């Protein structure tokens, strides 16, 4: 069975994302300025750009960790517009459909790896403990961490923690996965373990948006490369095309900086 089949029980319901004219500001500080992005079901979108470009904020708008000030979000059967009240139940449903993986893992330090993956299933999806534990065990095995099931995150390496975090998100049967620099806090070597899991997920046809500085991953795995700078999307398209022949000077400068490191 593939990773997303285990995650979903069956085959993932493939959904895409439509973001239209999204804007967001903190006080008078504009962070996202009228950005639109359409993501086809089952595709991988890599989001790159300099620090402070607004990538994280944009990603967090998709699962409504941030509410945009303007624009429309269509995701997982929900349409979100500014001012529209969304009740707690719908919000929980939306967020479990859209999995998110953070740069700093954010595992629950007081729970074992197994509990980290099992507990949200019980609370959000109402699964029984044994059902949730079984599913958690399957996923941990799949990300290569069966033997860490009873360890607390503090006892796991960064790469292991991040794979547990991915399992935790997958356990809620998401049809979309968001990754915010999942390997930036990891040693390059350890990052590879995590990238391998993500690659597998992509092969299974999971819809993914990945903020990353891993250019090789972006080139090999993503279907679309999106470049953000100064609160806007400045360029998007085929990853190889953009990397070999960027149209924007800003993109060129950024790529050179990343690749020359």
Partner 1 sequence: MDAFSAVLQGLPMTLMLTASAFAIGIVGAVPLAVGLSSSNIVVRLACRLFVDLVRGVPIIVWLFLLKFGIQIGTFKFDPVSAAIVGLGVVSVAYLAEIYRGGLEAVPRGQGEASGALGLSRGTTFLHVMVPQAFRIVSPSIATYLTGLLKDSSIASTIIVAEMVFQSQSFARQHPTMEGILPYVLVGILYIALSLPVAYLSRSLDARMRKAVYV
Ligand X SMILES: Nc1ncnc2c1ncn2[C@@H]1O[C@H](COP(=O)(O)OP(=O)(O)OP(=O)(O)O)[C@@H](O)[C@H]1O
| Contacts to ligand X by CB under 6 A | 26, 29, 31, 49, 51-57
185 belongs to the binding site for partner 1 (CB under 8 A): no
In the shown chain, the binding pattern of residues 122 to 151 toward partner 1, with x for contact by CB under 8 A and - for none, equals: -xx--------------------------x
Q: Name which of 39 and 172 has its Cβ closer to partner 1.
A: 172
In angstroms, the CA 222 to CA 245 distance is 17
Contact criterion met (CB below 8 Å) for 48 and 228: yes
Of 226, 119, 130, 202, nearest to 164 (Cα)? 119
User: CB of 144: closest distance to ligand X in angstroms?
Assistant: 28
Strand partners, 80: 73
Judged by CB under 8 A, the residue of 85, 88, 249, 259 near partner 1 is 88
Q: Name which of 32 and 194 has its Cβ closer to ligand X.
A: 32
* b/e map 10-35, b = 16+ CB within 10 Å: eebeebbbebeebbbeeeeebbbbeb
Judged by CB under 8 A, the residue of 6, 30, 65, 215 near partner 1 is 65
Q: Name which of 9 and 52 has its Cβ closer to ligand X.
A: 52
Q: Is 207 helix (H, G, I), strand (E, B) or coil?
A: strand
67 belongs to the binding site for partner 1 (CB under 8 A): no
183 belongs to the binding site for Mg ion (CB under 5 A): no
Q: What six digits make up the tokens of 65?
A: 């960790």
In angstroms, the CA 45 to CA 47 distance is 6
Of 1, 12, 3, 19, nearest to 167 (Cα)? 3
Judged by CB under 8 A, the residue of 4, 45, 96, 251 near partner 1 is 96
Beta strands in 154-201 (DSSP E): 176-180
Q: Which of residues 28-67 bind Mg ion (CB under 5 A)?
A: 56
Summarize as ranges the residues that interact with partner 1 (CB under 8 A).
63, 65, 88, 91-96, 98-100, 102, 104, 106-110, 119-120, 123-124, 151-155, 165, 168-169, 172
Summarize as ranges the residues that interact with Mg ion (CB under 5 A).
56
């Amino acid at each position: 069975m593939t990773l997303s089949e285990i995650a979903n029980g069956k085959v993932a319901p493939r959904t895409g994302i439509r973001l239209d004219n999204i804007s967001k500001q903190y006080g008078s500080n504009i962070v996202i300025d009228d950005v639109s992005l359409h993501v086809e079901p089952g595709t991988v979108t890599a989001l790159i750009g300099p620090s402070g470009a607004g990538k994280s904020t944009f990603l967090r708008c998709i699962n409504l960790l941030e509410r945009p000030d303007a624009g429309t979000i269509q995701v997982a059967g929900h349409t979100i517009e500014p001012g529209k009240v969304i009740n707690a139940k719908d919000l929980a449903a939306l967020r479990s459909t859209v999995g998110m993986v953070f740069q700093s893992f954010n595992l629950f330090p007081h729970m074992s790896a197994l509990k980290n993956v099992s507990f949200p299933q019980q609370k959000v999806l109402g699964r029984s403990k044994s059902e949730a534990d079984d599913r958690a065990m399957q996923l941990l095995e799949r990300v290569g961490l069966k033997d860490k099931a009873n360890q607390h995150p503090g006892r796991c390496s960064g790469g292991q923690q991040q794979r547990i975090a991915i399992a935790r998100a997958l356990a809620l049967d998401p049809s979309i996965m968001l990754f915010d620099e999942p390997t930036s806090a990891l040693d390059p070597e350890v990052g590879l373990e995590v990238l391998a899991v993500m690659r597998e997920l992509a092969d299974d046809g999971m819809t993914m948006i990945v903020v990353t500085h891993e250019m090789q991953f972006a080139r090999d795995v993503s279907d679309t490369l999106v470049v953000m700078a100064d609160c806007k999307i400045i360029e998007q398209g085929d990853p190889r095309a953009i990397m070999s022949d960027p149209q924007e000077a800003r993109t060129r400068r950024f790529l050179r900086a990343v690749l020359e490191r």
